[in-house]
Structure 1
Amino acid sequence: MIPEGAIESMALYPSNPVYGLNSLGGAISIKTKTGFSAPKHELEVYGGSWDRHSEELTSGWNNGSFGYFIDLRHFEEEGWRDFSPTKADQVFGTLSWRGDRGSLDLTLGANDNKLLGNGAVPVQLLKEDRNAIFTHPDQTITRMFFSELEGKYDLTDDIVLSGNAYFRQNRIKTFNGDDSDYEACEDPVNGGFLCEEEGDEEERVVDINGNEVLASDGVEGATNNFSQTNMRSRGGTIQTAFDQDLFGHKNNLTVGVSYDYSEVHFQSDTELGALTETRGTTRSGILVDESRVRLNTDTSAVGVFLSDSFSITDDLIATVAGRYNYIHMNMSDGYITDAEKNLNGSHTFERLNPSAGLTYRIFDNLTVYGSYSESARAPTPMELSCADPEAPCKLPNSFVADPPLAQVVAKTWEGGFRGDLDELLGKGDLKWNLGFFHTINSDDIIFQRGGDSISEGFFSNIGKTRRYGIEAGSSIAYPQLFSTIDDWYFSANYTYLNARFLSGFRVQDPVDEDNEDGVWVDKGRRIPGLPEHMFKASVGVDLWQKLMLGIDGVYSGARYYRGDEANQHAKLGGYWLFNGRAEYKITENLALFGRVDNIFDVNYSSFGVYGEADEVLGDNYEDRRFVSPGMPRAGWIGVRLSI
């Protein structure tokens, strides 16, 4: 959505309701650059594998009172998989003012992206060709404009008033070429027509004009699913921070209110077609009536929040926070052909989410902390529009009903230690952390398969899920480790994640479609798609303060395929991945840099799901496992000029 060069810093905050809607496990705060934080001009250009090239120009300036920052970026590549070109154009800019007691920042941004990211591929096809795709194209076009005015004013030396107002418009178009569930009718009564199986019966396909579709080579074997989403949102936040002692103790209190309003106009269609020799799709112009969706939604959200940090002693700090959310959502169906299966609806969700925590400094270099928090997520319009088990919908569109869903509520306990061992290293800097987390989600929402196709299903609340584990990390900066010319940097992070269902429920067997009773998911089964072990490490060295060399290692553990909630089938294997980087400063203002990803050319997959390959590739492709393959070894070199 925004160019990377516009980002000054990113921070991950643990579960805290103050950060707003949907922050079940935490929130990522992105701070962007201004002419005061980045007062320089820079041009970066790089290119390499798969005809990838990127050009990015940033410029920042200030005179003490006024400043500007702008980032212009163009990215383009052919992609390492077949039929996967991508282009992205982004612009981001900020006009700033700084006064003795206040500040203002006006931010504008836009993008025009055309992304082709072809999806998962059958495992049998992947063994034949690592670059292969299943069907194509799978295109997403995004055109976004956003604006924000942010201001801050010091009412007194210890009371600060701040706020922001924003407007965002995002237009998204998708075009997905896929196989088809429609074929020539087998029943002589329906002879000559195109049909879809409904249980043990056939139903003739009807187009949007009410005509039954005749079977022919041009309408069998493929579908084109395309959608358009126009979103407009606006809102803002006002908050006041009080940095005043309370009962003789340091105290920081922040109170505020937020309002957000959004309108979404969504439309989708399925067009009949045929597959080409490369498994692309043709266009027939015939649109299926049952798949047409015209859905308009508007959502209002009000939030009132408070956060207070109180120093009980110089070493013991207590923090309490809370946020009340009120969300109202209206849904209007613009294409109703069955009065009993429409998307009209009105939904309201509200909740007060609290949190509390303690932080105690045991020694100058050792701190212990603990906290409890609650947060909530309201169902999305897509989930609410596809939640009827009696009328499953076809992803990514074909919404058919609007039964209610409950909001997801997460209750999280966290605790741990953090500190440093600087005195042990002497001239070095060593930071470390060790933490434990435990989250239970109530009324968690998943997509369950259902219907006659493996792509059909519905969203539902399935009771409780639990995620707990540990996070451990360390970072070391050690100058002149072996000599006067080398400065070293090390970091390592490990996460153990135990994610399981705490409520039993029934799902469709992803492998045996003839099993009408499905399979039962017992309490304690692992949640698919989430690895149990994750590890990241990095080693780098600066030589003569001119040459930087580094290598990163990532391990992601095995996980169950999406759709195997009952854990009955084999896991998707874990993998190690190593990437290298280098940079040489020719002068103070000119640098050459390079990067190699997947140094050892590991053949790995990052995601697994179930599908039906035999309908497109033939009866020999009976393995229902699909995976998202990781990219092979690749490299890029570039130049950076800054003044």
Structure 2
Amino acid sequence: MGGRVLCIASIAAAALVVAGRQACAQDSNSNVTNLPPVEVDAPQTGVKPGRASGERRIVRPVQRIPVYPTAPLATVANDADKVPAGINYVDSNDIKRTGSLNVMDALQQNVAGVNISDVAGNPFQANIEFRGFVGSPVAGTPQGLAVYQNGVRINEAFGDIINWDLIPTAAIKSASVVTNNPAFGLNALGGAVDVRMKDGFSYHGTEVDIMGGSFGRIQGSAQWGQQVGSNWAVYGALEGVHDSGFRNFSPSDIRRFYGDIGYRYDGNEIHLNLGAASDNFGASATVPAELLQQFWGATYTTPQTSANQVGYVNLTGKFEVSPSWTIDGIAHFRAFTQHTQDANPTGTQPCDPNTALLCFGDGSTPANGLNGAQLANPFPAGSILGEIDRTTTNSNTGGFSVQATNTDQLLGHGNRFVVGTSFDSSVTHFGASAELGTIGTNYVTAGSGIFLGQSGDPVSIGPVSLRATNQYTGLYALDTFDVTKAFSITAGGRFNDARISLQDQIGTQLNGNSTYDRFNPIIGGTYKITSGLTAYAGYSESNRAPTPLELGCANPAMPCIIAAFLVSDPPLKQVVSHTYEAGFRGTKDFNFGTLEWKLGGFRATNTDDILAIPDPILQGFGYFQNVGSTRRQGIEAEAHLKASRWQFRASYAFIDARFLDSLQVGSNSPFADNNGNVQITPGNQIPAIPRHRIKAGFDYSITDALKVGGDALFVSSQYLVGDESNQAPKLPSYAVFGLHASYQIDKTYQIYGRVDNLFDNRYATYGTFFNTTLVPNFANGGNQFTNPESLSPARPRAFYAGLKATF
């Protein structure tokens, strides 16, 4: 399906590019786009016509910032001064500035609370962590962020994972990180990421961009948009990336397409947009620290690959049924396929004393084949056994959302009322298998063609064939009432209903039905102290239902390979987050430019939080467990100073994430007790969440044609995953710097370049533990590993250069 759709999409995109060479390339914020946005007054210094040139006046054109939940929501307020939460926003210029076809880079540079960790060992499959909540492409990661593309929730159905690589970056018009709003539905514990795409009404012209550089990187993108008459518009974007990777076996190949056809009349607007992507990755994951000391590009137990394909189509509409009533709607369908293979050490070993047979987990429990009979041992004596775990996930998701917005005055005061509903239904077919093999001295696992059947006592491995259905229904209402011209109150809430059904296609042990219901309220207010200073405060709740993956792997006595082998399990409780947020934001105009700033604090307390617990014995095995209450709180400060020829931005975020309850959990930490457990005490920090993030960046126009800039990032130390008891040394802090420059040759052509990790700092963004006894340290003469740390190394210094043409 994915290849055929992508082929058609590629032809269509090529035709769009050829047809649009006579248009003028520009991003326009002045046109109304397909979804009703929030309007924010962005200060801009200018001189009013008719005034003396020495007399200055601040002109504040309207900048449209979209913030909408599951429907194309017109949000809680008309403008940012009425949003009772922090506002984090990047536009297409911020994305272009990174020189990257990865929207995560722009979010990290521009949002104080965002941190990126390279969990999978591939830059296009990284985790985004915001305020201690994670949006990850790695199955088995408890997800705390909801992500929307053009108003459609794109957390994949089976594990709520977020495949950032499937979003065509060149086609992104803006991305907002929205907090303190339950209207975004499930998973918005820490917030939601709103991604809005371009269309032919807001983008005109043709742009072709080609870049290459270190580690075999070559990437290109082409986009074209045109308005046809006053009613029709067409937009298309096509992009591709190849990167060989700096680590062994870590190439990336990305192909993505996005297109939109729009029609508008008399204030009404309809859009049909579609997209397709086919991406392949070598996901090299963490590697023992001792191997990194030998070679920074080392890998451990390969192959580890992932292949993602998606095709989707959305129909959106906005209709002004009266001067004060607007109806918005979306109908959508998404087809997602993922194939993974992951080599691991295995619990399979020759039986004791009968080495002619294979056992699993110990020397006496039979390791069975697919036919249920115990496997004979075909491997030579002394072989290091491993297994290649493969999974296939096919998910089809369809749904709709409808929303009505009213702007009539209430009791003579300004008022904005929003009511909406959404329904999403998904069917997933999931399969998994485990092929036995031998691990060579290069840590590459060679398959034998022998597949494990149900094995273990209790059974913890075996083939899986599962059909999972999700039905998510939401009903929400929000109202913003202007008590005075300066003071506004927002109140409302959302009711979520999640129904999840598991149907075992091999036996019956995975069968189960779960239902989760909850109403999540919001209350908040804003007060405009002066024309350039606003205070805000709010409280909200949100919930996350356990995913089918988590429901199928929640028994400590029967651990499973995360995202691969599911077993019969006890039910999990839903996670509920209670968030308080308050702060100030403002603007200040000076003779040389404008300062935009914000300062805020938050506290989010989760009840019945879910944690992925590693099995203390079997490498790669684990389970999901409710771990009581956790708390994430902190402070975020940002400043952006803009002048005519330069700009400077800086931010600081403090994130304090802790467990609030006492409990004992399984762990692969070297400090685990004889039963493989560690004791969590109230106040222990949650691993993988650095407490401090400092960011800075500048841009300077030396001439009208030549521009230079740079960025700096500091991330403090963090506990390794698995160290919930906070006993092991932390992953060290790191600082990384980058430079970029561009030169506009003429109105058509621009050359540009960038240097990442300027000082070639060797650091890791993520760490965990591994079993040091399962595979020898071949780099050290086959001796046993002595350091249990397993890390994700960051990319060394890299150089890139590109050419951009606009017509």
TM bracket, shorter-chain basis: over 0.9
In structure 2, the residue matched to 1:303 is 474
Aligned residue identity for 2:378: S
Equivalent-residue separation in structure 2 for 1:265 and 1:382 (angstroms): 12
In structure 1, the residue matched to 2:234 is 68
Distance 1:564 1:502, change over 3 A: same
In structure 2, the residue matched to 1:358 is 525
Aligned residue identity for 1:519: V
Distance 1:137 1:450, change over 3 A: closer
In structure 2, the residue matched to 1:639 is 803
Which of 372, 381, 406 is residue 210 of structure 1 equivalent to?
Answer: 372
Q: Is the 8 A contact 1:197 1:203 kept in 2?
A: yes
Cα drift, residue 547 of structure 1: 1.2
Count of paired positions:
626
Equivalent-residue separation in structure 1 for 2:278 and 2:588 (angstroms): 48
In structure 2, the residue matched to 1:263 is 427
Cα distance per residue 1:612-638 (max 9 Å; x no partner): 244222443121110000000001101
Equivalent-residue separation in structure 1 for 2:191 and 2:469 (angstroms): 26
Q: Is the 8 A contact 2:203 2:225 kept in 1?
A: yes
2:711 paired with 1:552: yes
Map 1:131-210 onto structure 2 (within 5 A). Answer: 131-185=297-351, 187-188=352-353, 190-198=354-362, 202-210=364-372
Which of 601, 604, 611 is residue 763 of structure 2 equivalent to?
Answer: 604
In structure 2, the residue matched to 1:582 is 741
2:169 paired with 1:4: yes
Aligned residue identity for 2:749: L
Structure 2: any 5+ residue segments left out of the alignment? 1-165, 455-461
2:578 paired with 1:411: yes
Map 1:335-374 onto structure 2 (within 5 A). Answer: 335-336=506-507, 342-374=509-541
Equivalent-residue separation in structure 2 for 1:595 and 1:271 (angstroms): 43
Cα distance per residue 1:587-641 (max 9 Å; x no partner): 1121001111100000000000111244222443121110000000001101000
In structure 1, the residue matched to 2:387 is 223
Worse-superposed segment, 216-225 or 142-151: 216-225
Structure 1: any 5+ residue segments left out of the alignment? 480-486
Structure with higher RCO (Cα < 8 A, 6+ apart): 2
Q: Is the 8 A contact 1:302 1:325 kept in 2?
A: yes
2:406 paired with 1:248: no
2:543 paired with 1:383: no
TM-score, normalised with respect to structure 1: 0.95
Worse-superposed segment, 594-603 or 269-278: 269-278
TM-score, normalised with respect to structure 2: 0.76
Aligned residue identity for 1:241: T
Equivalent-residue separation in structure 2 for 1:363 and 1:441 (angstroms): 35
Equivalent-residue separation in structure 2 for 1:446 and 1:514 (angstroms): 19
SS class of match (2:445): coil
Q: Is the 8 A contact 1:254 1:307 kept in 2?
A: yes
Worse-superposed segment, 278-287 or 531-540: 278-287
Distance 1:567 1:512, change over 3 A: closer
In structure 2, the residue matched to 1:484 is none
Cα drift, residue 516 of structure 1: 1.2
Which of 255, 258, 269 is residue 103 of structure 1 equivalent to?
Answer: 269
Which of 387, 392, 403 is residue 559 of structure 2 equivalent to?
Answer: 392
Equivalent-residue separation in structure 2 for 1:614 and 1:449 (angstroms): 16
Aligned residue identity for 2:479: D
Which of 254, 275, 281 is residue 445 of structure 2 equivalent to?
Answer: 281
Which of 484, 505, 524 is residue 313 of structure 1 equivalent to?
Answer: 484
In structure 2, the residue matched to 1:44 is 209
Cα drift, residue 178 of structure 1: 2.1
Cα distance per residue 1:312-332 (max 9 Å; x no partner): 000001011210011111101
Q: Is the 8 A contact 2:280 2:306 kept in 1?
A: yes
Consecutive aligned runs of 4 or more in structure 1 exceeding 3 Å deviation: none
Cα drift, residue 359 of structure 1: 0.2
Equivalent-residue separation in structure 2 for 1:491 and 1:514 (angstroms): 47
In structure 1, the residue matched to 2:690 is 531
Cα drift, residue 285 of structure 1: 1.4
SS class of match (1:125): helix
Cα drift, residue 436 of structure 1: 0.6
Cα drift, residue 462 of structure 1: 0.8
Cα drift, residue 513 of structure 1: 6.2
SS class of match (1:279): coil
Cα drift, residue 548 of structure 1: 1.4
Cα distance per residue 1:196-243 (max 9 Å; x no partner): 235xx6312101112211223278522101010000000011001101
Which of 287, 310, 324 is residue 121 of structure 1 equivalent to?
Answer: 287
Cα drift, residue 370 of structure 1: 0.4
Distance 1:119 1:455, change over 3 A: same
Distance 1:7 1:195, change over 3 A: same
Equivalent-residue separation in structure 2 for 1:311 and 1:489 (angstroms): 35
Distance 1:443 1:389, change over 3 A: same
Cα drift, residue 389 of structure 1: 1.7
2:615 paired with 1:444: no
Cα drift, residue 514 of structure 1: 6.4
Q: Is the 8 A contact 1:182 1:220 kept in 2?
A: no
Equivalent-residue separation in structure 1 for 2:672 and 2:176 (angstroms): 45
Q: Is the 8 A contact 1:15 1:27 kept in 2?
A: no
In structure 1, the residue matched to 2:497 is 326
Cα distance per residue 1:163-213 (max 9 Å; x no partner): 00000000000011222221212x22x331112235xx6312101112211
Which of 644, 663, 674 is residue 505 of structure 1 equivalent to?
Answer: 663
In structure 2, the residue matched to 1:595 is 754
Equivalent-residue separation in structure 1 for 2:533 and 2:168 (angstroms): 38
Q: Tell me which protein shows more strand as a share of its residues.
A: 1
Cα drift, residue 512 of structure 1: 5.1
2:187 paired with 1:22: yes
Q: Is the 8 A contact 2:678 2:724 kept in 1?
A: no
